Amino acid sequence: QKEVEQNSGPLSVPEGAIASLNCTYSDRGSQSFFWYRQYSGKSPELIMFIYSNGDKEDGRFTAQLNKASQYVSLLIRDSQPSDSATYLCAVNIYNFNKFYFGSGTKLNVKP
Amino acid sequence: EAGVTQFPSHSVIEKGQTVTLRCDPISGHDNLYWYRRVMGKEIKFLLHFVKESKQDESGMPNNRFLAERTGGTYSTLKVQPAELEDSGVYFCASSYGQGRDGYTFGSGTRLTVV
């Protein structure tokens, strides 16, 4: 069983809509949860991280964590074509210096 | 500030040859990490340096891979001899403290072994 699971997509949403990206993890020892955005051929770029149950908002982005259900999600409000990228979910398990990544969800925002 | 820089951006080598990848972390970042993504798979941890010391090399696939960080600045990752299954994108990342708040990735080196 993989430590982190993501639907590979593609997830297609119209411009201005809310994009919802989901991630599940297997180890209850997971402590911190990260969302990275990666444009094709570029480096993963940190969007947000969350440690505690609940929601964390940063501009158009909201991360949601539910430890009981072992899932973390990323909501992107007012999606823009520039948000089209692959979104990677990553978790730390006991060790802040080692990430486990999901395989990523490709998001397409259509004008 | 300059980001994490990796050289080369692409490398194509024949099976059995040696390749050395280089990573220059953000200045002042003591923590340096190597990850890789092979085709169709997720990004996986290789190892972690704190300054010049290897803290965790549990992700290194076998003894054909050798990472060094002399002087605690830049790091190299050597693959010798390269095999077909080593093809993929090798990412370097760095952070000032522990990776609790995430870290900054370089743009990666795409390695193709033919």
CB A22 within 8 Å of CB A108: no
pLDDT of residue B1: 63
Put simply, whether B43 touches A (Cβ < 8 Å) is yes
Of B61, B22, B55, residue with least CA distance to B41? B61
Distance from CA of A106 to the nearest CA of B (A): 13
Residue whose entry in the numeric block shows the structure tokens 């990573």: B23
Tell me the CA distances in angstroms from B63 to A96, B32, B34, B88, one per residue in order: 25, 20, 15, 18
Rg (CA), chain B: 13
Amino acid identity of residue A32, one-letter, is: S
pLDDT digits (tens, 9 = 90+) for B67-97: 999 888 999 999 999 999 999 999 999 998 8
Of A92, A44, A33, residue with least CA distance to B4? A44
Mutation to test the A interface, candidates B42, B45, B103, most A Cβ within 10 Å: B42
Question: CA A16, CA B73: separation in Å to the nearest integer?
Answer: 44
pLDDT digits (tens, 9 = 90+) for B31-61: 999 999 998 899 999 999 999 999 999 999 9
Put simply, whether A99 touches B (Cβ < 8 Å) is yes
